[in-house]
Amino acid sequence: MTTLTIQTPDDWHLHFRDGDMLTETVAATARCFQRGIVMPNLVPPVTDATMVLAYKARILAARPEDSTFEPLMTLFLTNQTTREQIIEAKSAGIVAAKMYPAGATTNSAAAVSQLEALYPVFETMQEQGMLLLVHGEVTDSHIDIFDREKVFIDQKLAHIVKQFPGLKVVFEHITTADAAQFVSEASTNVAATITPQHLLLNRNDLLVGGVRPHNFCLPVLKRSTHQEALRKVVQTGSAKFFLGTDSAPHAKEAKENACGCAGCYSAWSAIELYTHVFEELDALDKLEGFASHHGADFYGLPRNEGTITLVREDWVIPEEIILPNGKPIVPFFAGQTVHWKVKTA
């Protein structure tokens, strides 16, 4: 096969950041994705409808002139979030609320510290038909970082799903066989996104031969057995799993320092990287469902009408991209050869 045409895909989990970085990040995503679920962990986080809509306006202003890309906005949950804010957000067109455990990842210090205290908010979300997006890790200091996703499932997520059976939950950027099994066995109201880095890499790619900061993301890369479990679950074509890049840009200097930031910037190569993986798995016939159908169906949104075409052509992901402020950023898989490329007019 030398060409592959699929319905235009969507990215169901990404970070644009803010300010002048938007002209880089929005264009990178809009080149091949029609819609994107935009994460709300800015500084300060976007915690109410007014802030979310203002952020959406800044994203729309940064779109390329000929782009019809649609940002799908989310609300940042805190222990101060009220039922009324959920109702207001839903009426403003905000499709989901994001639950970060406080301190779990970038710009999450103001997030949820008492998860059970949010149950009244989850009840309102269930009533309103607003999705709950979950960063699924505990943050207890005594729990090994490689075990935090599994512990979150056992201690937190299983109880939420049982308590609110009508609440649609997306377990974001899953990294373990435990998460894949949990989602597979849960009700049809539970789904998950999977990133390119967790399909392509494991913790050896982070630690062997020295620490590789540009492969550092949260949740952190796991052992190869977990990577293989994720690859197997996408290979099945299950509608419970769909594309979410977790593309998360940081300037090179913010990654390469004594306390490097977590995140992989994959937007400029994301659909090509997924195609690369699905070809390795002899599952190119499953790519369209994963990239273009399952997410839209789960969110209750129409599938996109257009198509994109990928051609089998080797190309090398650049070593660096220059941000609008002149600082370099190292894209995910920098310097590596990918075998598919989006066909341009």
Binding site per annotation, positions: 13, 15-17, 41, 98, 135, 173, 218, 246, 250, 262
| CB of 196 closer than 8 Å to CB of 190 | no
DSSP symbol at 115: G
Question: In sequence order, what are the residues at sequence separation of 6 or more whose Cβ sits closer than 8 angstroms to the Cβ of residue 53?
Answer: 73, 92
Annotated binding residues for Zn(2+), as ranges? 13, 15, 98, 135, 173, 246
Cβ count near 128 (within 10 Å): 16
- Quote the CA–CA distance of 311 and 127 in Å, as a whole number: 45
Side-chain half-sphere CA neighbours of 89 within 13 A:
32
Tokens coding 179: 């998460």
Whole-angstrom distance, CA of residue 231 vs CA of residue 191: 16
- Cβ–Cβ < 8 Å for 243, 12: yes
Alpha carbon distance 249, 70 (integer Å): 20
- The CB density around residue 53, as the number of other CB atoms within 10 Å, is 15
Distance from C-alpha of 36 to C-alpha of 14, rounded to nearest angstrom: 7
Token code pair at residue 337: 């050869």
Q: What six digits make up the tokens of 236? A: 């099945």
Structure-token pair, residue 123: 């009840």
Q: Which among 10, 11, 178, 246 is annotated as catalytic?
A: 246
Per DSSP, the residues of 199-217 read HH--THHHHTTS--GGG--
246 flagged as catalytic: yes
Left, alpha or beta for 103 (phi > 0: left; psi -120 to 50: alpha)? Answer: left
**Cα 221–Cα 198–Cα 24 angle in degrees, nearest 5:** 105
Q: CB within 8 A of 23, min separation 6: which ones?
A: 62, 324
Q: Which residues are annotated as a binding site for substrate?
A: 15-17, 41, 135, 218, 250, 262
> Which residues are tagged catalytic?
246
